[in-house]
Structure formats: C-alpha cells, structure tokens
Amino acid sequence: MAYCSASDVFAYSQNLTHGEPSFDDESRPTLSQVSMFLSSGCAAIHTALSGAGWSVPATSGTELYDKLKDLNALFGAGRSELSRVNTTVTSGERTRAQLFLDMFNSELNTLVSTDLTEIGGALSTTDGEIFVGGISQDNKDSYYNDTDRVQARFRKNQFKFSDTIYPK
C-alpha cells in the first residue's frame, strides 16, 4: 500500500527518467522499484503514526491524507535518487537523496508530535474502553467469555522463560 503513486515521485525527480514522461521498465530506477520504495515509505509512516498511538491508514480525501501523500512521495524521491550514483565531493555535502530523506524525516517527526485531530481528524485513537482487570471475578469472567471482544496483545507470563528467576 502507498499513499501516492510513481507519478507523484516523478514530480520531484524528473531528472531520473532522461526526458521520458514517467518511470517505466527502462528507467533507472524502474517503475517496480519506485513502487517498492513507496510501499516502504508507507510502512515507515504507519510505524511512526502507530507508535504515536494513532490508527492507520488515514482516510482518503482528508487534509491528513494529502499530507501523507506528499510525505510518501518525498520518501520515494529520496530512495529513487539514492538508486543513482551520486559523487560526494566534500565532507558534509548534501545530495538530492539526502535532502529528500531529511525533509521526509523532519516532516514525519513534526507530524507525529502534532495533535492529528487538528488536521482533518482522519486518524483516531482507540475508541474502545480499556480493560485492566475488573473489580470482581464475575466481571473478569464475563469479559473473557465475550467472543466479540478484541483479543489482548499481551497475556500473563507471555515473556516468561524457563530457568529464569522471577520475583515473588
């Protein structure tokens, strides 16, 4: 999955197609490589947003979706530029690939630290109630017997290993 297409990457990196109107099987990188870069960029975006507590993917047609589309294109352009041989002449010199990837990382970090409800409300935190154990045994039993509930990600003793000392 990706928020944008190879044509969005082409808008940033027209120099890579040697005058052709788009990426194809003959361009360097190829269309399939650009698609792979976009998929990787989308995964990076989803990882960052999920880590900040937001559900993904974003809803199409929102301001946030458009922002993520541009972010995804920046990542694709950076990776596409990296696929070319760029000679760095001096220490600290920035190549086009470095600039695109730095812009991607900077904007993604800014986005993750922003209250995303202010950007079109396209992502939401968990709407459900958090269950942390219950007050009575009947309450716990009814919760665990509910077949429609979302399964917990962690369970008691999940990370317990044999021959390991645990505090009592």
Query: Residue 127: which pLDDT band, with cuts at 50, 70 and 90?
Result: very low
Highest mean pLDDT among 23-37, 52-66, 84-98, 127-141: 23-37
Question: Is 57 contained in some domain?
Answer: yes
Domain range for 69:
6-118
Report the pLDDT averaged over residues 56-83: 92
pTM for the predicted model, two decimal places:
0.68
Question: Is 88 contained in some domain?
Answer: yes
Tokens, residue 76:
């694709």
Q: Are 80 and 10 in contact (CB under 8 A)?
A: no
Question: Is 124 contained in some domain?
Answer: no
Judge residue 129's burial from the number of C-beta atoms within 10 Å of its C-beta, 0-12 exposed, 13-18 middle, 19 or more buried: exposed
Number of domains comprising the chain: 1
